[in-house]
Amino acid sequence: MRLAIVGLTWINNCGIHRHKLATLFVSVAGASLVCREGAEKIMLNSTALCRAFLATLLCALSAVALAQITDINSAINKAGRQRMLSQRMAKAYFQIGLGVDTDRSRRVLESSIDLFDGQLVELKNYAPSPEIRETYQKLEKAWQAYREALNTATPNQGEGARILALSEDVLALAQQGAQQLERRSATTTGRLVNIAGRQRMLSQRMAKYYQAAAWKISIEQSGPEIDKGRREFSTALLELAAAPNNTTALREELELVKQQWMFFENALNQRGSVDKRQATAVATTSERILETMENVVGQYERLPK
């Protein structure tokens, strides 16, 4: 039991996925309880239990250790991913409200909340300067309000405008952190990681505004925001394609992004009286282009500094 307490203390200090790991530790520690069957008492072998617990503990700690930020490029990647998640969560919230791909949208929302929580802890711990640390402290406060609003039992249209506003607040601070880290890196690779990472955000931002308008939320604002996102995405895609640092693998991935962008842009063009089929097309294509851009950002992150 003492080992379990040590493990739980470590989780609390680390702050990363502690609700999941804590369940694991408690489950293993709970196996040491005496089992009763009729009048007989069976005590589990304490040595075997200890070995099993230590093995599980080491695996868990290793998995978390691998998730830590190791360098500035990793920090820029995760800071940029926070931008994307701020928009993806609102998109998923609106899709649930619309009844669009509901089960998957719920999974997207839940997993995005968990990922944002974990990465925020990592970025706060890594912050290499007081200014960057202050940015993530502010982001933490903005995130608390946003997370509380997202965790409502059932998304409702009346809260839609508030969700939209909170997603913008969180995005602004996440963008500030990513920019600060890019300036800190002062490298071409750091800039490419940030530009590619911002493409992830733009894909989710355009989809967010599309679904908001489909749910009759911020209709007047949505059209201009989608058009602005399209221009910025297209411009950045050209810049990335022309980067001299590109490897063959990166060029192939960027060509795939270009093809997916055609499908996504076509889905975004279906405005006006939006039906569920059109909203589902935006939901699906936005996730596909996001997945490919994640691969692109990861490859830029691994380039020599």
pLDDT tens-place string over residues 59-77: 443 344 346 898 999 999 9
Q: How many CA atoms lie within 13 A of 225 on its CB side?
A: 21
Q: Residue ranges per domain, the chain?
A: 2-66, 72-301
Residue 222 has pLDDT above 70, yes or no: yes
pTM for the model: 0.79
Q: What is the sign of the dihedral through the CA atoms of 189, 66, 89 and 150?
A: negative
pLDDT tens-place string over residues 86-116: 999 999 999 999 999 999 999 999 999 999 9
DSSP string, the chain: -HHHHHHHHHHHHH-SSHHHHHHHHHHHHHTTSPEEETTEEEPPPHHHHHHHHHHHHHHHHHHHHHTS--SHHHHHHHHHHHHHHHHHHHHHHHHHHHTSSHHHHHHHHHHHHHHHHHHHHHHHHH--SHHHHHHHHHHHHHHHHHHHHHT-SS--GGGHHHHHHHHHHHHHHHHHHHHHHHHHH-SHHHHHHHHHHHHHHHHHHHHHHHHHHHTTSSHHHHHHHHHHHHHHHHHHHHHHHT-TT--HHHHHHHHHHHHHHHHHHHHHT--SS--HHHHHHHHHHHHHHHHHHHHHHHHHHTS--
Confidence bin at 275 (pLDDT 50/70/90): confident
Mean pLDDT for the stretch of residues 12-32: 37
Mean pLDDT for the stretch of residues 151-167: 92
Burial environment of residue 152 by CB neighbours within 10 A (0 to 12, 13 to 18, 19 or more): exposed
Vertex 124: Cα angle to 114 and 186 (nearest 5): 115
